[in-house]
Amino acid sequence: MIGRKFYAVTFEDRSKEEISEHVRLMEEGGLIEALKKPEQRGVFWYPIRITWHGHQYLASVQADSVYAKTKEIASKAFGSVTMETIKVAIPLALQALLKSQGFVP
C-alpha cells in the first residue's frame, strides 16, 4: 500500500486515537478501506476510500432513517413539514442518528 492516498481526518473535540479507532472499526466492518500506519505515538488508521458496502449502508440510512427523523424533528419543532423546515431539521436529524449509532457523544 505504499504510495496510496489516505485522508487525515480531524475533529476539534476528538483525539487522534479516538478517530483512528473509529476508522479501524469501519474498516473491520467492511464500510471503508483504511491504511494502518505506524507512527511515533503508536499505530493509527486512516481512511482510503468507502467500499460498495459502505455506500449501500449510507444509502439505506439516508433513504429511511434520515428522512424519517428529519420529518419527525420538523413536525415537532415547527408544527408542519415544509421545504424550509426540512432544511433546518436535516442537520439535527443527522446529529441525532449519528449519536444513536455511537459516533457522537
Q: Give the cell for residue 78.
A: 415547527
How far is the C-alpha of 22 from the C-alpha of 17, rounded, in Å?
Answer: 9
Degrees to nearest 5, angle at CA 94 with 88 and 89? 15
Of 5, 26, 3, 22, the closest CA to residue 14 belongs to 22
Distance CA 68, CA 86 (A): 11
Write the CB contacts of 24 (distance below 8 Å, at least 6 apart in sequence): 34, 36, 45
Which residues have CB under 8 Å from 17's CB, separation 6+? 42, 44
- In the predicted structure, residue 58 carries a pLDDT above the cut 70: yes
* Mean pLDDT on 36-63: 84
10 Å CB burial of residue 25 (0-12, 13-18, 19+) is middle
For position 61, what pLDDT does the model report?
Answer: 63
pLDDT band at 1 (very low <50, low <70, confident <90, very high): very low
Q: Which residue has the higher pLDDT, 96 or 11?
A: 11
Question: Taking 80 as the threshold, does the pLDDT of residue 23 lie above it?
Answer: yes
Q: What integer pLDDT is reported at residue 35 of this predicted model?
A: 92
